[in-house]
Amino acid sequence: MSNMLLEGVFAEVKEPCSLPMLSVDMENKENGSVGVKNSMENGRPPDPADWAVMDVVNYFRTVGFEEQASAFQEQEIDGKSLLLMTRNDVLTGLQLKLGPALKIYEYHVKPLQTKHLKNNSS
């Protein structure tokens, strides 16, 4: 493979985002991870544990998962439920396609859980 081809392949790969206060910086690429900045935009409380079902739905719509966001509403996933979800819950419990489900868990659910635990362990 040429270097140019490899650069093209890896250009689309993004690192999981760090989530200081959870407001979206609208840099998403086709259901990939997004960058986030400090503030309380979009009317969501900064702590995901305080999110209502519609806050969760709107979060996933905002970060590029428009089609998958409705699954969180159908399953009545609020912020507390979101923070309790396992990888298996996201991959099988929401009845999503595997690709988007993996991205949702790895780039969004898991970092939200990690950030929440760090903030509440001090």
Residue 113 exposure: Cα atoms within 13 Å on the Cβ side: 14
Of the two residues 29 and 66, the one the predictor is more confident about is 66
Superfamily designation of domain 15-120: Transcription Factor, Ets-1 (1.10.150.50)
**How many whole angstroms separate alpha carbon 111 and alpha carbon 22?**
10
Domain boundaries, the chain: 15-120
- List residues bridging with 24 in a β-sheet: 36
Question: Rounded CA gap, 111 and 106, in Å?
Answer: 7
Q: 32 is written with which tokens?
A: 């990939």
User: Is the pLDDT score of 77 beyond 70?
Assistant: yes
Q: How many CB atoms lie within 10 A of CB 8?
A: 10
Q: What percent of the chain has pLDDT over 70?
A: 65
Q: Is 96 a residue whose pLDDT tops 80? A: yes
Please tell me which residue, 95 or 11, carries the higher pLDDT value: 95
The CA distance from 53 to 57, in Å, is 6
28-47 tens-digit pLDDT: 445 554 444 444 556 788 99
- Give kind and range of the element (H or E) at residue 36: strand 36-37
Question: Which secondary structure element, helix H or strand E, spans residue 24, and what is its range?
Answer: strand 23-24
